[in-house]
Every structure is written in C-alpha cells, then in structure tokens.
Structure 1
Amino acid sequence: MPEKIPRVIKMKYFFEKYGFHVSSRLADKLGMRVTNVRLFFIYISFVTAGLWFGVYLTLAFWIKLKDLIRAKRTSVFDL
C-alpha cells in the first residue's frame, strides 16, 4: 500500500521543481550567471524589508517627538 505524501511536502517539491527554474531561465535570457541572479533577489528582498522597517522607525520617532512637544494636560487648572 503506497504511503500518502503530506500536502506540505508536495508543495515543497512543487516550488523546488518550478521555482528555482525561474532564476536560471532569467540568467540565460540576460546572459548572466545564475548565482548572480539569485544573489540579486536575496539582496533586493533585504533592501525592501529594511526600507519599510526604516519608515516604521521614522514614524515611531515622529510620534514620540510629537508627544514630547505637546504636553498632555489632564485638566484646565494645569495651565
């Protein structure tokens, strides 16, 4: 009786079979080495993730700065 393969393993095999072939076809079309194309995709993913993390930190800094400039008063008599 054949053993049933889990769905996650099937999905892994699918991406290994068809996903890695994309970079090699792109490298052949551009006349580059496959490792350079893969490194480019890795670097660009880190840059885009880091860019949004930097935007997040900048917005958090602005909010903190706004809270420091505008003192929150609890009542009218604090003036």
Structure 2
Amino acid sequence: MALLGNLILLMKTEFGSFLISVIWGFALALLFRRTCKNRNCVVIKAPNAKEVEDKIYKFDSACFTFNTNISECKA
C-alpha cells in the first residue's frame, strides 16, 4: 500500500507527471505500432489502367502516353 501512496505522491510532482506521460506514450506507441515484416504491408495504389491508357499527359513540356504491358515478375 505504501508503494501506491508513493506513486500518487510522485504523480503530483512535475517530474512525476512527465515520467508518467512518457510511460503512457511508449505504451500507446507499442499498442498502435505497425507489424510489418519485409515488404508485405506496402500498398501500392495506382489508377485504373482503362482510365489512363491511350491518353496524352503533359509533364515538364513533354508529352507522354501510357500503354499497358503485361509481364511476369520473379519475386
């Protein structure tokens, strides 16, 4: 019971409040951290191929067209 009383007294000081805030911050960071292994959680978003295919786009005074090309990638 004395430990709980000391903890309450510690929380009433400026340093104790700071220390408790740091502990809570680490706890929340661990709770909401991403659990990514390798590159399995990388999400690559691209527009629908039919929306951009055979249209002309201008970028830095150069014009480009996009065409789909099916290819195999070795993972």
Larger radius of gyration: 2
Give the structure with the larger strand fraction. Answer: 2
